[in-house]
Structure 1
């Protein structure tokens, strides 16, 4: 069963750009980029199921998440769109593109390869559970609880974007954490779909990230045969946050090169 995704829609003319966040992210993470892109086109930023302000639901397979996104496009009467996805969101948009290529004007995949990955979020889940139990009153207390399991301040700041003020005061997570943890094995799998997506594709990878190594490129080109691969130097996995200007420029140049 599909989930009615929460979204932010700038309005505007032309083929829309739909932006899809990664694991434990949300549409708000893309606010500064959306502000730039909306000057040239309609932008729709989404919260995937169990993230942001979207409903919580069992199931985190890429087929399910791609179906959610396709249902949103139908609801907004978007026939075709440029799809941009980061990390887990990249696998979601690849899945949609493989299953419904006629709905995809182009694909932009940020720092993820169309392959399975090993488990690597144990400390992050432990930190979020610690936060749940600790019931912090403010962001300073929340950061201290996260820091018991996550040393990197940048990661803690990212996780803290999932906090909101509860009805009874104090901060709480706006994540379907139970459902995300239950579906974590599916999240680590390769994208859904059988056929390659042969449309225009840009793959951006961080020069300091290990998510899209050169060894992943042959398989990537099997699934995305027309992909242009660009590396952003001095950027890790969160390349859109670490090198925002270079990321903007690469996306804008790619979209400008396409015949709308």
Structure 2
């Protein structure tokens, strides 16, 4: 496969002249999912990627965090961006932390939206085993209904946008556009010991109060490492907080990134 063919697929939003923001989605997600948040922050230059194994990016392995970090740095090089604010949701939050540790000179600040990092290995085994099962649908209506149930509390138009952007017709079934093997690998990566962002990195951590991904012990370690560079803002929402509480999340990001 050529180098060009291995490039991440990119979705761009907002102002080309704005502060660049690299947005990293969670497992089974895709870069277009950032559209509502980007619309609420149009002054920023949003770069929403499809992670390897997801969406329209290459699906070939390896699928580990180090590869995702390397992919992100290659993308920044391709776009000639020296330093960037990084927004990561769920697994994307874990990747964002590792990216900041691997290349602290390239990550100007971090926004971690209910990051999935350092999770319980037994829970991740159970989730990975569940992910191995078939998740396909006989028609679009079935896929839409399933997504609406999983995304309880999220507006119907956002569910519809997810269906339009992320559902693919394969053979006689409909499936979400991600590699199941890559998703299984991601749950394993989320069970790795959780590092903190490197000292001195301005970090906005936004845990979702209706989810249980962010461990208090990790937050305490982040406070010890970052001190005043860490801002913790809890959001009374489920795990998809940036879709459920877009205006609220956007307000905090604007204050943190733009000032």
TM-score normalised to the size of structure 1? 0.81
Over the residues paired in the alignment, what is the CA RMSD in angstroms?
Answer: 3.3
How far has the Cα of 1:41 moved from its partner?
Answer: 2.3
Superposed, 1:103-118 pairs within 5 Å as: 103-112=106-115, 114-118=117-121
Match of 2:38 in 1: 34
Q: Deviations over 1:183-235 (max 9, x none)?
A: 53123324579x82422111111122222243332222345442111111x21
Alignment partner, residue 218 of structure 1? 220
Q: What is the CA-CA distance between 1:128 and the residue it aligns to? A: 7.3
Task: List runs of 5+ in structure 2 lacking aligned partners.
Answer: none
For 1:123 and 1:106, the matched residues in 2 are separated by 31
Q: Of the candidates 101, 104, 113, which is equivalent to residue 104 of structure 2? A: 101
TM-score normalised to the size of structure 2?
Answer: 0.81
| Regions of 4+ moved over 6 Å | none
Q: Cα gap change, 1:178/1:124 in structure 2, threshold over 3 Å: closer, same or farther?
A: closer
Further displaced range: 84-93 or 9-18: 9-18
Name 1:154's counterpart in structure 2: 152
CA drift of 1:169 comes to 6.1
2:64 to 54, 61, 65: 61
- Per the TM alignment, residue 93 of structure 1 is displaced from its structure 2 partner at its CA by 1.0
User: Across the two proteins, how many residue pairs are aligned to each other?
Assistant: 247
Aligned to 1:23: 27
1:199 paired residue number: 201
* Kept after mapping to 2: 8 A contact 1:25/1:52: yes
CA contact under 8 A between 2:128 and 2:187: conserved in structure 1? no
Superposed CA offset, 1:125-169 (max 9, x none): 64774334xx52x2223367x59xx97463996986642234x56
2-structure distance, mates of 1:207, 1:182:
26
Q: CA deviation at 1:122?
A: 4.5
* Displacement of 1:121: 7.5
* CA positional deviation for 1:69: 0.5
Superimposed CA distance per residue, residues 77-125 of structure 1 (whole angstroms, 9 cap, x where no aligned partner)? 1111110000100011111111111111111111126534333484686
